[in-house]
Amino acid sequence: MSFPWLSLLAALPAVGAVVLIATPVRLAKHVALAFSVVTLLVAVLLGLSYRTGGGMQFVEQVRWIKPLGAYYALGLDGIGLTLVLLVVIVTPVVIAATWAEFDHLPDAGAVRTGGDLPPRYDSRVFFALVLVVETCALYLFLATDVFLFYVFFEVILIPMYFLIGGFGPGARRTYAAAKFLIFGLLGGFVMLASVIGLYVLSARAGEPSYLLSSLSQLSIGTGTGRWLFVGFMFAFAIKAPLVPLHTWLPDAAQESSPGGATMMVGVMDKIGTFGMIRFCLGLFPEASQWATPVVLVLAVISILYGAILAIGSRDIMRFIAFTSISHFGFIVLGIFAFTTQSLVGSTLYMLNHGLSTAALFLAAGFLIRRRGSRSIAAFGGVQRVAPVLAGLLLFAGLSTLSLPGLSSFVSEFMVLAGTFSRHPVYAVVSTLAIVLAALYILIMYQRTMTGDLQPGNEQLPDATGRERLSMAPLVVLIIVLGVFPKPLLAVIEPAVQATMSHVGVTDPQPRVNAEGGR
pLDDT of residue 512: 61
Decide if 514 is inside a domain.
no
| Res. 109 pLDDT band, cuts 50 70 90 | very low
Domain of residue 456: give its range: 5-105+115-503
pLDDT of residue 153: 95
Under 8 Å between Cβ of 324 and 249:
yes
pLDDT of residue 104: 63
pLDDT at 376 over 60: yes
Confidence (pTM)? 0.93
pLDDT of residue 494: 94
| Res. 46 pLDDT band, cuts 50 70 90 | very high
In the chain, the N- to C-terminal Cα span, in Å, equals 48
pLDDT at 390 over 80: yes
| Res. 111 pLDDT band, cuts 50 70 90 | very low
| Res. 508 pLDDT band, cuts 50 70 90 | confident
pLDDT of residue 2: 79
pLDDT of residue 505: 86
Under 8 Å between Cβ of 148 and 65:
no
Tens digits of per-residue pLDDT, 463-500?
889 999 999 999 999 999 999 999 999 999 999 999 99
Average pLDDT, the chain: 90
Average pLDDT over residues 227-234: 95
| Percent of the chain residues topping a pLDDT of 90 | 72
Burial of residue 446 (number of CB atoms within 10 Å: 0-12, 13-18, 19+) = exposed
pLDDT at 361 over 50: yes
pLDDT at 379 over 60: yes
Q: Work out whether the CA dihedral 24, 26, 27, 29 comes out positive or negative.
A: positive
Decide if 511 is inside a domain.
no
Higher pLDDT, 116 or 501: 501
> Distance of CA 207 to CAs 7, 77, 144, 387, 423, Å?
26, 26, 17, 64, 41
CA pair distance 395, 187, nearest whole angstrom: 35
Burial of residue 160 (number of CB atoms within 10 Å: 0-12, 13-18, 19+) = buried
pLDDT of residue 107: 45
pLDDT at 348 over 60: yes
Under 8 Å between Cβ of 410 and 482:
yes
Decide if 517 is inside a domain.
no
Average pLDDT over residues 334-355: 94
pLDDT of residue 96: 94
Q: How many domains does the chain have?
A: 1
pLDDT of residue 506: 84
Higher pLDDT, 109 or 258: 258
Candidate from 251-265, 302-316, 389-403, 445-459 with smallest mean pLDDT: 445-459
pLDDT at 235 over 70: yes
CA pair distance 78, 278, nearest whole angstrom: 12
pLDDT of residue 110: 41
Burial annotation 91-109 (CB, 10 A radius, 16+ → b, else e): bbbbbbbbbebbeeeeeee
Decide if 518 is inside a domain.
no
- Cβ-based neighbour number of residue 457 at 10 Å: 20
Decide if 148 is inside a domain.
yes
Decide if 508 is inside a domain.
no
pLDDT of residue 55: 83
Residues in the chain, how many?
518
Candidate from 55-69, 107-121, 250-264, 405-419 with smallest mean pLDDT: 107-121
Average pLDDT over residues 249-262: 92
pLDDT of residue 108: 39
pLDDT of residue 515: 54
Average pLDDT over residues 282-288: 92
pLDDT of residue 105: 56
Candidate from 81-90, 107-116, 202-211, 345-354 with smallest mean pLDDT: 107-116
Decide if 253 is inside a domain.
yes
Decide if 127 is inside a domain.
yes
> Distance of CA 444 to CAs 304, 390, 441, Å?
17, 12, 5
By three-state DSSP, how is residue 58 classified?
Answer: strand
| Res. 462 pLDDT band, cuts 50 70 90 | confident
Tens digits of per-residue pLDDT, 178-210?
999 999 999 999 999 999 999 999 988 888 889
